[in-house]
Amino acid sequence: MFLDPPREGRFRLFLMRHGHLENSDFGAINGQGDVSLSPRGEAQMESRAHFLREVPATLLLSSTLRRTRQSLAPFGKSRPHLPLRALEGFRERSFGFWEGKTREEIAALDPTGYARWQDLDVSFAPAGGESLLSFRDRVLSALRELLAQAGYRHNALCVAHSGVNRIILLDALGHDLSGYFRLTQGYGSLNVIDYTEGGDPVVLLMNLPSDLPPMASKTGPGKPDKGSEGPGSSLSSSMSSSSGSPPPGPSAP
């Protein structure tokens, strides 16, 4: 169902989180800090690009931060005719003074602010950073602008951030920000959302992990190769393997 070509009246968004980062194992809050992928993250995104290699994409999108542009690069190798477009509005939430610090450091330096963040105070902004409300407005404004400018006949491969993806998914599901910490996005995870002009978004897939075999090549329209055990023959079965994702909560952006 995900390998069909672009269709008039539909914008299909393959929305991914970037790969593992060079400082991921330290638990730092990156926000808009411009960190790079780790070798593990590069391998995750190469795997994800291979998994989606047969998607007939018409747009390649990322944020302007290095980690998403690096993560998108493998998708462009097999689609050299498509330009890579970086969207300023899809940058991760700015955490200002907190960026580059661990949770323990933040809790010690700014205990009141840390408590407000943990309690999902949507109006709270760290010093020099964004509130969740303003972050949501920025991301959704960029999404609406993208849909209006591009039109509804695209398959878009997009690499963004944990926070950005949660905002987009909550909006697509019709939920408010109270559900923000109830969603999680693993490194390299995949979501698929269909947008139609004048209709409600439809979420087809959420948080599919990156460590999966490629979608099966086809011998004809909608026909996987015989004997294929890859997720191209049964994507729903692959979703059961997502139990290794981190639990919901304030994950490191």
Count structural domains, the chain.
1
HEC string for 135-155: HHHHHHHHHHHHHHHHCCEEE
Question: Could you report the per-residue pLDDT of 85-95, keeping only the tens digit for each?
Answer: 999 999 999 99
Please give the Cα distance from 161 to 175 (Å, whole number): 19
Q: Which amino acid makes up residue 166?
A: R
Instruction: Please give the residue that has the higher pLDDT: either 56 or 243.
Output: 56
Please give the Cα distance from 131 to 252 (Å, whole number): 16
Contact 98, 126 (CB under 8 A): yes
Q: What is the CATH number of the domain that holds 175?
A: 3.40.50.1240
Contact 189, 210 (CB under 8 A): yes
- The answer as to whether 1 is a domain residue is no
Find all residues with CB under 8 Å of 113, minimum gap 6, and list them: 98, 106, 124, 126, 127
Question: Could you report the per-residue pLDDT of 174-185, keeping only the tens digit for each?
Answer: 999 999 999 999
- The answer as to whether 3 is a domain residue is no
- The answer as to whether 253 is a domain residue is no
Q: Is pLDDT at 238 greater than 70 in this prediction?
A: no
- The answer as to whether 250 is a domain residue is no
Q: Report DSSP letters for 190-215, one per residue.
A: EEEEEEETTS--EEEEEEE-S--PPP
Q: Is pLDDT at 111 greater than 50 in this prediction?
A: yes
Contact 158, 13 (CB under 8 A): yes
Show the domain range for 144.
10-244
- The answer as to whether 66 is a domain residue is yes
What are the φ/ψ torsions at residue 208 (nearest 5 degrees)? Answer: -70, 125
